Structure 1
Protein backbone atom coordinates (compact mmCIF):
# COMPACT_ATOMS: atom_id res chain seq x y z
CA UNK A 1 0.00 0.00 0.00
CA UNK A 2 1.40 3.38 -0.99
CA UNK A 3 2.33 5.71 1.86
CA UNK A 4 2.31 8.81 -0.32
CA UNK A 5 0.14 11.66 0.91
CA UNK A 6 -2.15 13.00 -1.86
CA UNK A 7 -1.34 16.53 -2.97
CA UNK A 8 -4.30 18.86 -2.53
CA UNK A 9 -5.74 20.82 -5.43
CA UNK A 10 -4.66 24.07 -3.75
CA UNK A 11 -1.06 22.86 -3.42
CA UNK A 12 -1.02 21.74 -7.06
CA UNK A 13 -2.27 25.15 -8.14
CA UNK A 14 0.42 26.91 -6.09
CA UNK A 15 3.10 24.66 -7.56
CA UNK A 16 1.88 25.33 -11.08
CA UNK A 17 1.84 29.08 -10.53
CA UNK A 18 5.36 28.97 -9.06
CA UNK A 19 6.65 26.98 -12.06
CA UNK A 20 5.05 29.45 -14.48
CA UNK A 21 6.39 32.43 -12.54
CA UNK A 22 9.95 31.11 -12.39
CA UNK A 23 9.94 29.96 -16.03
CA UNK A 24 8.61 33.32 -17.21
CA UNK A 25 11.20 35.33 -15.29
CA UNK A 26 14.01 33.13 -16.56
CA UNK A 27 12.88 33.50 -20.18
CA UNK A 28 12.31 37.26 -19.82
CA UNK A 29 15.86 37.73 -18.59
CA UNK A 30 17.25 35.53 -21.35
CA UNK A 31 15.28 36.82 -24.35
CA UNK A 32 13.53 40.05 -23.34
CA UNK A 33 9.87 40.32 -22.34
CA UNK A 34 8.44 41.15 -25.75
CA UNK A 35 10.32 38.27 -27.40
CA UNK A 36 8.80 35.58 -25.17
CA UNK A 37 5.53 33.86 -26.10
CA UNK A 38 3.11 32.39 -23.57
CA UNK A 39 3.56 28.95 -25.10
CA UNK A 40 7.32 29.12 -24.44
CA UNK A 41 6.61 29.85 -20.77
CA UNK A 42 4.18 26.95 -20.39
CA UNK A 43 6.47 24.56 -22.27
CA UNK A 44 9.35 25.52 -20.00
CA UNK A 45 7.15 25.04 -16.94
CA UNK A 46 5.84 21.72 -18.23
CA UNK A 47 2.17 22.68 -18.03
CA UNK A 48 -0.64 23.32 -20.51
CA UNK A 49 -1.01 26.69 -22.21
CA UNK A 50 -4.40 27.21 -20.59
CA UNK A 51 -2.81 26.96 -17.15
CA UNK A 52 -1.05 30.28 -17.68
CA UNK A 53 -4.30 32.20 -17.96
CA UNK A 54 -5.63 30.52 -14.83
CA UNK A 55 -2.95 32.33 -12.83
CA UNK A 56 -1.97 35.38 -14.90
CA UNK A 57 -3.85 37.62 -17.33
CA UNK A 58 -0.73 38.55 -19.30
CA UNK A 59 3.06 38.52 -19.31
CA UNK A 60 3.00 41.95 -17.69
CA UNK A 61 1.07 40.53 -14.73
CA UNK A 62 4.01 38.19 -14.09
CA UNK A 63 6.32 41.21 -14.03
CA UNK A 64 4.01 43.10 -11.67
CA UNK A 65 3.89 40.17 -9.26
CA UNK A 66 7.68 40.12 -9.21
CA UNK A 67 7.80 43.89 -8.66
CA UNK A 68 5.39 43.64 -5.71
CA UNK A 69 8.16 41.87 -3.81
CA UNK A 70 9.73 45.33 -3.47
CA UNK A 71 7.47 46.05 -0.50
CA UNK A 72 8.93 43.01 1.28
CA UNK A 73 12.37 44.53 0.67
CA UNK A 74 11.27 47.78 2.34
CA UNK A 75 9.84 45.91 5.30
CA UNK A 76 12.92 43.70 5.76
CA UNK A 77 15.22 46.72 5.64
CA UNK A 78 12.99 48.59 8.09
CA UNK A 79 13.07 45.71 10.58
CA UNK A 80 16.83 45.45 10.14
CA UNK A 81 17.31 49.15 10.97
CA UNK A 82 14.62 49.47 13.63
CA UNK A 83 17.03 49.17 16.55
CA UNK A 84 20.13 50.39 14.72
CA UNK A 85 21.92 53.40 16.15
CA UNK A 86 21.59 55.57 13.06
CA UNK A 87 19.71 58.79 12.40
CA UNK A 88 16.14 58.75 11.09
CA UNK A 89 17.48 60.51 7.99
CA UNK A 90 19.84 57.62 7.31
CA UNK A 91 17.11 55.05 8.03
CA UNK A 92 14.77 56.66 5.51
CA UNK A 93 17.47 57.03 2.87
CA UNK A 94 18.66 53.43 3.32
CA UNK A 95 15.17 51.95 3.12
CA UNK A 96 14.24 53.86 -0.02
CA UNK A 97 17.58 53.13 -1.67
CA UNK A 98 16.96 49.42 -1.06
CA UNK A 99 14.08 49.77 -3.53
CA UNK A 100 16.46 51.20 -6.12
CA UNK A 101 18.86 48.28 -5.63
CA UNK A 102 15.99 45.80 -5.98
CA UNK A 103 15.12 47.38 -9.33
CA UNK A 104 18.76 47.34 -10.39
CA UNK A 105 18.53 43.56 -10.12
CA UNK A 106 15.24 43.53 -12.07
CA UNK A 107 16.75 45.49 -14.93
CA UNK A 108 15.53 48.33 -17.12
CA UNK A 109 13.19 46.21 -19.26
CA UNK A 110 11.45 44.76 -16.21
CA UNK A 111 10.91 48.12 -14.57
CA UNK A 112 9.62 49.67 -17.79
CA UNK A 113 7.17 46.77 -18.15
CA UNK A 114 5.86 47.43 -14.64
CA UNK A 115 5.12 51.06 -15.48
CA UNK A 116 3.43 50.09 -18.76
CA UNK A 117 1.29 47.60 -16.86
CA UNK A 118 0.27 50.16 -14.25
CA UNK A 119 -0.49 52.92 -16.76
CA UNK A 120 -2.87 50.61 -18.61
CA UNK A 121 -4.52 49.12 -15.50
CA UNK A 122 -7.89 50.16 -14.04
CA UNK A 123 -7.69 52.40 -10.96
CA UNK A 124 -8.53 49.59 -8.53
CA UNK A 125 -5.65 47.46 -9.89
CA UNK A 126 -2.86 50.02 -9.53
CA UNK A 127 -0.21 48.84 -7.08
CA UNK A 128 2.44 51.55 -7.23
CA UNK A 129 -0.02 54.27 -6.20
CA UNK A 130 -1.82 52.35 -3.45
CA UNK A 131 -1.67 54.27 -0.16
CA UNK A 132 -2.03 50.99 1.78
CA UNK A 133 1.35 49.81 0.54
CA UNK A 134 4.02 49.00 3.10
CA UNK A 135 6.17 51.67 1.46
CA UNK A 136 3.79 54.46 2.46
CA UNK A 137 3.30 53.19 5.99
CA UNK A 138 7.03 52.74 6.62
CA UNK A 139 7.97 56.17 5.24
CA UNK A 140 5.26 57.89 7.27
CA UNK A 141 6.24 56.03 10.44
CA UNK A 142 9.93 56.94 10.15
CA UNK A 143 9.10 60.58 9.48
CA UNK A 144 6.77 60.73 12.47
CA UNK A 145 9.48 59.22 14.66
CA UNK A 146 11.96 61.74 13.30
CA UNK A 147 9.61 64.61 14.08
CA UNK A 148 9.02 63.31 17.60
CA UNK A 149 12.77 63.04 18.20
CA UNK A 150 13.16 66.61 16.87
CA UNK A 151 15.52 65.48 14.12
CA UNK A 152 12.95 66.44 11.47
CA UNK A 153 10.99 69.62 10.90
CA UNK A 154 7.65 69.83 12.67
CA UNK A 155 6.15 72.64 10.58
CA UNK A 156 3.88 70.04 8.94
CA UNK A 157 2.71 66.59 10.01
CA UNK A 158 4.20 63.25 8.98
CA UNK A 159 1.55 62.61 6.34
CA UNK A 160 2.42 65.84 4.53
CA UNK A 161 6.14 65.10 4.39
CA UNK A 162 5.58 61.43 3.53
CA UNK A 163 3.52 62.39 0.49
CA UNK A 164 6.25 64.74 -0.76
CA UNK A 165 8.96 62.12 -0.36
CA UNK A 166 6.99 59.28 -1.96
CA UNK A 167 5.78 61.37 -4.91
CA UNK A 168 9.35 62.47 -5.63
CA UNK A 169 10.57 58.89 -5.18
CA UNK A 170 8.04 57.51 -7.67
CA UNK A 171 8.93 60.33 -10.06
CA UNK A 172 12.54 59.17 -10.12
CA UNK A 173 11.39 55.72 -11.27
CA UNK A 174 9.46 57.33 -14.13
CA UNK A 175 12.28 59.67 -15.13
CA UNK A 176 14.69 56.75 -15.13
CA UNK A 177 12.48 54.76 -17.51
CA UNK A 178 12.14 57.79 -19.80
CA UNK A 179 15.93 57.83 -20.19
CA UNK A 180 15.59 54.56 -22.13
CA UNK A 181 19.18 53.75 -21.33
CA UNK A 182 19.57 50.25 -19.83
CA UNK A 183 23.27 50.82 -19.22
CA UNK A 184 22.47 53.24 -16.37
CA UNK A 185 21.43 51.81 -13.00
CA UNK A 186 18.46 53.32 -11.19
CA UNK A 187 20.51 53.55 -8.00
CA UNK A 188 23.16 55.61 -9.79
CA UNK A 189 20.55 57.81 -11.42
CA UNK A 190 18.39 58.54 -8.39
CA UNK A 191 20.38 58.18 -5.18
CA UNK A 192 21.89 61.67 -4.96
CA UNK A 193 18.63 63.46 -5.78
CA UNK A 194 16.66 61.37 -3.29
CA UNK A 195 19.15 61.84 -0.45
CA UNK A 196 19.33 65.59 -1.10
CA UNK A 197 15.55 65.98 -1.07
CA UNK A 198 15.21 64.10 2.22
CA UNK A 199 17.88 66.24 3.84
CA UNK A 200 16.53 69.55 2.51
CA UNK A 201 12.85 68.88 3.24
CA UNK A 202 13.04 67.05 6.54
CA UNK A 203 16.13 67.95 8.53
CA UNK A 204 16.39 71.13 10.57
Structure 2
Protein backbone atom coordinates (compact mmCIF):
# COMPACT_ATOMS: atom_id res chain seq x y z
CA UNK A 1 0.00 0.00 0.00
CA UNK A 2 2.87 2.33 0.80
CA UNK A 3 4.31 1.62 -2.67
CA UNK A 4 1.03 2.80 -4.24
CA UNK A 5 1.61 6.25 -2.72
CA UNK A 6 5.00 6.59 -4.42
CA UNK A 7 5.19 8.66 -7.56
CA UNK A 8 6.40 7.06 -10.77
CA UNK A 9 9.61 9.07 -10.50
CA UNK A 10 10.25 7.89 -6.91
CA UNK A 11 9.61 4.26 -7.90
CA UNK A 12 12.07 4.67 -10.76
CA UNK A 13 14.68 6.15 -8.39
CA UNK A 14 14.27 3.23 -5.99
CA UNK A 15 14.65 0.79 -8.88
CA UNK A 16 17.75 2.58 -10.22
CA UNK A 17 19.42 2.45 -6.80
CA UNK A 18 18.56 -1.25 -6.53
CA UNK A 19 19.95 -1.89 -10.02
CA UNK A 20 23.26 -0.25 -9.06
CA UNK A 21 23.39 -2.29 -5.86
CA UNK A 22 22.61 -5.53 -7.74
CA UNK A 23 25.21 -4.76 -10.40
CA UNK A 24 27.89 -4.25 -7.76
CA UNK A 25 26.91 -7.45 -6.00
CA UNK A 26 27.05 -9.41 -9.26
CA UNK A 27 30.47 -8.01 -10.14
CA UNK A 28 32.04 -8.81 -6.78
CA UNK A 29 30.96 -12.41 -7.10
CA UNK A 30 33.71 -12.71 -9.73
CA UNK A 31 36.29 -10.06 -8.79
CA UNK A 32 37.70 -8.68 -5.59
CA UNK A 33 35.83 -5.68 -4.26
CA UNK A 34 38.91 -3.49 -4.65
CA UNK A 35 39.21 -4.43 -8.34
CA UNK A 36 35.61 -3.59 -9.23
CA UNK A 37 35.39 -0.02 -10.49
CA UNK A 38 32.55 2.46 -10.27
CA UNK A 39 32.63 2.63 -14.07
CA UNK A 40 32.05 -1.14 -14.28
CA UNK A 41 29.20 -0.99 -11.79
CA UNK A 42 27.60 1.89 -13.69
CA UNK A 43 27.96 0.12 -17.03
CA UNK A 44 26.45 -3.12 -15.70
CA UNK A 45 23.58 -1.18 -14.09
CA UNK A 46 23.12 0.75 -17.35
CA UNK A 47 23.44 4.14 -15.66
CA UNK A 48 25.93 6.97 -15.91
CA UNK A 49 28.75 7.36 -13.40
CA UNK A 50 26.99 10.55 -12.32
CA UNK A 51 23.89 8.51 -11.50
CA UNK A 52 26.02 6.16 -9.43
CA UNK A 53 27.25 9.11 -7.38
CA UNK A 54 23.71 10.43 -7.01
CA UNK A 55 22.71 7.24 -5.15
CA UNK A 56 26.02 6.21 -3.54
CA UNK A 57 28.93 8.37 -2.44
CA UNK A 58 31.44 5.59 -3.07
CA UNK A 59 31.87 1.85 -3.43
CA UNK A 60 32.21 1.84 0.35
CA UNK A 61 28.58 2.98 0.56
CA UNK A 62 27.52 -0.11 -1.37
CA UNK A 63 29.64 -2.29 0.90
CA UNK A 64 28.02 -0.75 3.99
CA UNK A 65 24.58 -1.10 2.38
CA UNK A 66 25.16 -4.82 1.93
CA UNK A 67 25.79 -5.34 5.62
CA UNK A 68 23.01 -3.02 6.69
CA UNK A 69 20.55 -4.82 4.42
CA UNK A 70 21.64 -8.25 5.64
CA UNK A 71 21.44 -7.12 9.26
CA UNK A 72 18.00 -5.53 8.90
CA UNK A 73 16.48 -8.38 6.92
CA UNK A 74 17.68 -11.06 9.30
CA UNK A 75 17.64 -9.50 12.71
CA UNK A 76 15.70 -6.22 12.99
CA UNK A 77 12.48 -7.83 14.22
CA UNK A 78 14.06 -10.84 15.89
CA UNK A 79 12.27 -12.18 18.93
CA UNK A 80 13.46 -15.43 20.60
CA UNK A 81 9.88 -16.13 21.69
CA UNK A 82 8.90 -16.61 18.04
CA UNK A 83 11.01 -19.77 17.87
CA UNK A 84 10.07 -23.06 19.58
CA UNK A 85 13.72 -24.15 19.82
CA UNK A 86 15.77 -24.55 22.96
CA UNK A 87 18.27 -21.81 23.75
CA UNK A 88 21.13 -23.97 22.50
CA UNK A 89 19.46 -24.79 19.20
CA UNK A 90 18.34 -21.19 18.72
CA UNK A 91 21.90 -19.98 19.21
CA UNK A 92 23.16 -22.45 16.61
CA UNK A 93 20.33 -21.48 14.22
CA UNK A 94 21.28 -17.82 14.66
CA UNK A 95 24.88 -18.47 13.59
CA UNK A 96 23.84 -20.84 10.79
CA UNK A 97 21.61 -18.11 9.35
CA UNK A 98 24.49 -15.65 9.62
CA UNK A 99 26.85 -18.13 7.91
CA UNK A 100 24.31 -18.75 5.13
CA UNK A 101 23.93 -15.02 4.53
CA UNK A 102 27.69 -14.45 4.56
CA UNK A 103 28.10 -17.27 2.04
CA UNK A 104 25.43 -15.66 -0.14
CA UNK A 105 27.27 -12.33 -0.06
CA UNK A 106 30.29 -14.18 -1.37
CA UNK A 107 33.92 -14.65 -0.62
CA UNK A 108 35.12 -11.39 -2.18
CA UNK A 109 32.95 -9.11 -0.03
CA UNK A 110 33.83 -11.04 3.14
CA UNK A 111 37.54 -10.88 2.31
CA UNK A 112 37.16 -7.15 1.81
CA UNK A 113 35.37 -6.85 5.13
CA UNK A 114 38.01 -8.76 7.04
CA UNK A 115 41.12 -7.37 5.35
CA UNK A 116 40.26 -3.81 4.39
CA UNK A 117 41.87 -0.79 5.95
CA UNK A 118 39.71 1.51 8.01
CA UNK A 119 36.53 0.89 9.97
CA UNK A 120 34.22 -2.04 9.38
CA UNK A 121 30.62 -2.30 10.58
CA UNK A 122 31.00 -2.96 14.27
CA UNK A 123 28.77 -5.73 15.53
CA UNK A 124 27.67 -3.71 18.57
CA UNK A 125 25.99 -1.22 16.22
CA UNK A 126 23.99 -3.90 14.41
CA UNK A 127 20.61 -5.53 15.00
CA UNK A 128 22.38 -8.90 15.06
CA UNK A 129 24.05 -7.92 18.32
CA UNK A 130 20.69 -7.12 19.91
CA UNK A 131 19.26 -10.39 18.60
CA UNK A 132 22.15 -12.42 19.98
CA UNK A 133 21.88 -10.68 23.34
CA UNK A 134 18.17 -11.56 23.46
CA UNK A 135 19.03 -15.23 22.86
CA UNK A 136 21.69 -15.12 25.57
CA UNK A 137 19.46 -13.28 28.04
CA UNK A 138 16.63 -15.77 27.49
CA UNK A 139 19.07 -18.68 27.78
CA UNK A 140 20.52 -17.32 31.01
CA UNK A 141 17.05 -16.72 32.46
CA UNK A 142 16.13 -20.33 31.61
CA UNK A 143 19.41 -21.59 33.15
CA UNK A 144 20.56 -22.91 29.77
CA UNK A 145 23.61 -20.63 29.51
CA UNK A 146 26.07 -19.75 32.23
CA UNK A 147 25.71 -16.47 34.07
CA UNK A 148 29.45 -16.31 34.71
CA UNK A 149 29.70 -14.04 31.64
CA UNK A 150 27.55 -10.98 31.11
CA UNK A 151 25.42 -10.70 27.96
CA UNK A 152 28.00 -8.29 26.52
CA UNK A 153 30.92 -10.59 27.29
CA UNK A 154 29.20 -13.63 25.84
CA UNK A 155 28.12 -11.71 22.74
CA UNK A 156 31.68 -10.55 22.15
CA UNK A 157 33.01 -14.08 22.78
CA UNK A 158 30.63 -15.63 20.25
CA UNK A 159 31.18 -12.97 17.57
CA UNK A 160 34.96 -13.30 17.87
CA UNK A 161 34.63 -17.04 17.32
CA UNK A 162 32.39 -16.46 14.29
CA UNK A 163 34.85 -13.93 12.86
CA UNK A 164 37.57 -16.55 13.24
CA UNK A 165 35.50 -19.09 11.30
CA UNK A 166 34.87 -16.53 8.54
CA UNK A 167 38.56 -15.62 8.44
CA UNK A 168 39.54 -19.27 8.06
CA UNK A 169 36.90 -19.72 5.35
CA UNK A 170 38.42 -16.77 3.47
CA UNK A 171 41.98 -18.00 3.87
CA UNK A 172 41.03 -21.40 2.47
CA UNK A 173 39.16 -19.71 -0.43
CA UNK A 174 35.87 -21.39 0.43
CA UNK A 175 37.65 -24.71 0.96
CA UNK A 176 34.63 -25.95 2.90
CA UNK A 177 31.00 -25.12 3.57
CA UNK A 178 30.83 -22.16 5.94
CA UNK A 179 27.45 -23.37 7.19
CA UNK A 180 28.68 -26.88 7.99
CA UNK A 181 31.81 -25.61 9.74
CA UNK A 182 29.80 -23.04 11.69
CA UNK A 183 27.34 -25.67 12.91
CA UNK A 184 30.15 -28.03 13.84
CA UNK A 185 32.08 -25.42 15.82
CA UNK A 186 29.09 -23.71 17.40
CA UNK A 187 27.84 -27.03 18.78
CA UNK A 188 31.18 -27.31 20.59
CA UNK A 189 31.16 -23.68 21.66
CA UNK A 190 27.69 -24.04 23.15
CA UNK A 191 29.14 -26.63 25.55
CA UNK A 192 31.50 -23.94 26.87
CA UNK A 193 28.66 -21.59 27.78
CA UNK A 194 26.13 -24.06 29.11
CA UNK A 195 24.89 -23.65 32.65
- For this structure pair, what is the TM-score category when the shorter chain's length is used for normalisation? 0.7 to 0.9
My pick for the range that moved more, 139-148 or 38-47, is 38-47
Structure 1: gaps (5+ residues): none
RCO comparison, higher one (Cα < 8 Å, 6+): 2
Aligned residue for 1:82, secondary structure, equals helix
The residue aligned with 1:192 is 184
Task: For residues 162-188 of structure 1, give each alpha carbon's deviation from its aligned partner in whole angstroms, at most 9, with x where no partner exists.
Answer: 2211222222222322x2423423223
1:104 Cα shift? Answer: 1.7
Shift of the 39–163 alpha-carbon distance from structure 1 to 2, 3 Å rule, reads: closer
Task: For residues 59-110 of structure 1, give each alpha carbon's deviation from its aligned partner in whole angstroms, at most 9, with x where no partner exists.
Answer: 354233223333235427944x633332111111101110101122222122
Task: Tell me, yes or no, if structure 1 residue 132 matches structure 2 residue 129.
Answer: no
**1:60–1:114 contact (8 Å) kept in structure 2:** no
The residue aligned with 2:68 is 68
1:139 Cα shift? Answer: 1.1
- Counterpart-to-counterpart distance in 1, 2:58 and 2:172: 23
Larger radius of gyration: 1
- Counterpart-to-counterpart distance in 2, 1:44 and 1:97: 32
**2:169–2:175 contact (8 Å) kept in structure 1:** no
Shift of the 195–69 alpha-carbon distance from structure 1 to 2, 3 Å rule, reads: farther
TM (norm. structure 1) is 0.77
**2:76–2:128 contact (8 Å) kept in structure 1:** no
- Counterpart-to-counterpart distance in 2, 1:110 and 1:156: 32
- Counterpart-to-counterpart distance in 2, 1:37 and 1:156: 45
The residue aligned with 2:59 is 59
Shift of the 73–96 alpha-carbon distance from structure 1 to 2, 3 Å rule, reads: farther
> How many matched pairs?
190
1:134 Cα shift? Answer: 1.0
The residue aligned with 2:3 is none
Shift of the 42–196 alpha-carbon distance from structure 1 to 2, 3 Å rule, reads: same
**1:146–1:152 contact (8 Å) kept in structure 2:** yes
